[in-house]
Structure 1
Amino acid sequence: MTRALVVIDVQESFRAGPLWETISRPKIAHQVDRLVRLARQAGDTVVWVLHSEPGSGGVFDPALGHVRLLEELHREEGEPLVHKTSHNAFTTTNLQQLLTERGIRELVVCGIRTEQCVETTTRVASDLGYRVTFVTDATATNPIAHRDAPAGQSVAELLADPRTLSAEEIVRRTEYALAGRFATIATVDALEAAAGSRA
């Protein structure tokens, strides 16, 4: 097949961080797993991407052991795993080479965070000529503090601040920014239905 599912940063680093309690989709692993099953059934390539910040001392520092898939997810032998250190999955990895070698021209993307690494990867992929499907309900994100909010806000302060952008609003804005320009917006249900109609 010429299509790949790219699973971006669905990793324990996020669950180990203080913002996990605010994540928009705590059961994101379930949605991602549905996409992974679809991809495998179709014979598509599944590419796993993990974000890494070596030497940072934070939850993305591989030395702390959180830079691994959420425990509910399982990578099969032969499925590529790439580690990135930039927001998008291309700049600091061999992802483009890997896709080119396999003749892949179409990507389905999902992961954490909706507007950050998943959206940025989608935009870069589109600019590189890939046809991209952005599966919104297989992404997750957190509320974002206002640019003038004090540094070091607690979760309670973040949620109480009326200037905080909600996760729902972030997802909505991301869909508006990507649709018709960089990607087709889809849901897991719609992709499952389409696969069923092709079977």
Structure 2
Amino acid sequence: MNRALLVIDVQESFRRRPNWRAVSAPDIADRAARLVGAARAVGDTVVWVLHTEPGSGTPFDPALGHVRLMDGLEPAPGEPVVTKTSRNAFTTTGLQRLLTARGVREVVICGIQTEQCCETTARLAADLGYGVVFVTDATATFPIEHRDAPPGRGLDRILADPATLPTDQIIARTEYALAGRFAAIAALDDLAPASAR
């Protein structure tokens, strides 16, 4: 079965946000790089996905120069880079067409954020008929404020609020939602053993 690794939004934009210091996996670029190396070693397609919000004035606005892969990540010749404006990697890109042209039937997902762009891409990929492998510990996320939290609070107050959902619970909920329905859950060490680097 032809397989593709989707490296989703492991981009400098996130490091420019105030909540970066609360990220679940500060070494996410290294984790993604391990998967990239393993994918290349067996001839799998590697697809790089970047999120962009043109005209927003945020770190995701391409005009500010942060919509680029984090240091240590670089596409090899022939590896496609797609840019999206939606949460999932399919709706606003030609990703499905690209995967079809390469005969891909299974996708492996890593990147940022666990419960947003990564999970949403996994769900849509499953609906489109792809086999999906979700490498949870090669994804990263951030604490989520309660929906009724007052706007504009600093990160310290958000983290101190008992109603804030911590990253370990976000990750667990994503696995519960995906496993057996949309994706097989895999560990980084299973797909890219540290000793093989």
Q: TM-score range by the shorter chain?
A: over 0.9
1: CA distance between counterparts of 2:58 and 2:37? 32
Which deviations, in whole Å up to 9, do the C-alpha atoms of 1:82-130 show, x marking residues without a partner?
0000000000000000000000000000000000000000000000000
Question: SS state of the match for residue 139, structure 2?
Answer: strand
**Counterpart position of 2:150:** 150
TM-score w.r.t. structure 2 length? 0.97
- Structure 1: how far apart are the matches of 2:72 and 2:192? 20
RMSD of the alignment, in Å?
A: 0.9
| Gapped regions of structure 2 (runs ≥ 5) | none
1:1-199 equivalences under 5 Å are 2-192=2-192
Superposed displacement of residue 192, structure 1: 3.0
Q: What amino acid maps onto 2:52 in structure 1? A: S
Report the CA distance between 1:190 and its aligned residue.
1.1
Q: TM-score, normalised by structure 1?
A: 0.96
SS in 1 for 2:104: coil
C-alpha separation between the residues in 2 aligned to 1:164 and 1:98? 39
Alignment partner of 1:185: what SS?
strand
Once the two structures are superposed, what CA deviation does each residue of 1:33-68 show, in whole Å capped at 9, x if it has no partner? 110000000100000000000000000000000000
2:150 alignment partner AA: P
Name the SS for the 1:100 alignment partner: helix
Q: How far 1:12 sits from its partner (Å)?
A: 0.2
Instruction: Give the paired residue count.
Output: 194
Moved over 6 A (4+): none
